Amino acid sequence: VLANPLRPAILAAAKSGLLERSITKAPVTRRIVDRFVAGDNREDVLDVARRLVGSGRAISIDFLGEDTTDRAQADATVQEYLSLIGDLGALDVAPINGAAPLEVSMKLSALGQALPHDGDRIALDNASTVCAAAEDAGVWVTIDAEDHTTTDSTLAILATVRKDFPWVGAVLQAYLHRTEDDCRELCGQGSRIRLCKGAYREPESVAFQSNSDVDASYLRCLEILMTGDGYPMVASHDPAIVAATGTYSRDATAVEYQMLYGIRDLEQVRLAETGATMRVYVPYGTAWYGYFMRRLAERPSNLTFFLRSLATK
């Protein structure tokens, strides 16, 4: 089965500044965005965090932003993460199956990786600053995966950060041909790996293109992680993947299910109620355009809903 035929066009639009300006200004967009994004500011996201944690779910909060080409913006992102971690540390929530219930997720391209000079070093320094604060607050950190041109740099920065903070996790994307090897490399003791299908537009030379090939790759990667010595974080809304995860005899302290805020909320609650660790990825902030477009691209019904709302205005 081929992926959503509109996916490449929507993902191309996700990179268009012109479309970004018109779509983010359309008043109706806001209501639909609110389904996937927990508000513009920290106060908003902390309300959502309290509600999710109160229902027995763990959370990972992402301050939206990516592809920063401005040093001051990267520094401001670090400051926002430090404030967020301070606020999360004050929530005082009990661990879930031994896991930290509170986590932040961050994109290295928001921390300076895409800067023209010294991007890798700046992103590394900034990531380390965030990780040091998180360690003090008892909050976990996972580094998001972006498009394939960043994978080598991101995994190199992860390896360096993990020398000081071995509990820091990373995301691997099953649609990339390389990911089975990366899973083998990163399935050792203490290694926290969030496995997702992958959300960017990638060429055939590096990524599987059809849904069935991506799903098959996901299951092969899952097998490596679930039979390894690390800590797999199964990030998917796909019932087949959730079911496959359940077939491995790992106890609840050694694996997590993860889904996105606003997607399959009832299934999230159901999984948490079985005693499993269920973590919800919760984005907030005003830079939601790229994230929102990736959500539209992965599900035609989300797009139809969005277009219909625009048409009725």
The response to whether 198 counts as a known ligand-binding position is yes
For 164-276, list the strands marked E by DSSP.
169-173, 192-196, 231-235, 256-260
Q: Which is nearer to ligand FDA, 162 or 194 (CB)?
A: 194
The response to whether 313 counts as a known ligand-binding position is no
CA dihedral of 162, 56, 234, 186, whole degrees rounded to 10: 20
Sequence-separated (6 or more) residues with CB below 8 Å from residue 108? 123, 127, 143, 144, 146, 150, 153, 154, 157
Question: Nearest Cα to 123, choosing from 92, 89, 81?
Answer: 81
The response to whether 113 counts as a known ligand-binding position is no
Catalytic residue among 62, 144, 182, 215: 144
The response to whether 25 counts as a known ligand-binding position is no
The response to whether 15 counts as a known ligand-binding position is no
Distance in Å, CB of 309 to ligand FDA, minimum: 16
The dihedral through the CA atoms of 7, 148, 143, 216 has a sign that is positive
Distances (CA, A) of 176 to 3, 5, 246, 257, 279: 15, 19, 24, 21, 24
Per DSSP, the three-state class of 37 is coil
Question: Nearest Cα to 4, choosing from 170, 190, 201?
Answer: 201
Q: Which is nearer to ligand FDA, 178 or 264 (CB)?
A: 264
Helix axes 300-311, 289-298, angle to 10 degrees: 110
Catalytic residue among 7, 42, 57, 194: 194
Residue nearest to ligand FDA (CB): 236
Q: Which is nearer to ligand FDA, 126 or 150 (CB)?
A: 150
Q: Which is nearer to ligand FDA, 80 or 298 (CB)?
A: 298
- Residue 77: Cβ within 10 Å count: 24
How far apart, in whole angstroms, are the C-alpha atoms of residue 101 and residue 47? 15
Distance in Å, CB of 117 to ligand FDA, minimum: 25
Distance in Å, CB of 268 to ligand FDA, minimum: 10
In the residue annotation, 308 being an active-site residue is answered as: no
Give me the residues that bind ligand FDA (CB under 6 A), please: 144-145, 171, 173, 194, 196-200, 235-239, 258-260, 263-264, 281, 298-299
Distance in Å, CB of 304 to ligand FDA, minimum: 12
Q: Which is nearer to ligand FDA, 29 or 245 (CB)?
A: 245
Distance in Å, CB of 163 to ligand FDA, minimum: 22
Task: Indicate the DSSP class of residue 237.
Answer: -
The response to whether 212 counts as a known ligand-binding position is no
In the residue annotation, 194 being an active-site residue is answered as: yes
Positions at the binding site for substrate: 107, 294-295
The catalytic site residues sit at 144, 194
Known binding-site residues equal 107, 173, 197-199, 236-237, 294-295
Residues tagged in the binding site annotation for FAD = 173, 197-199, 236-237
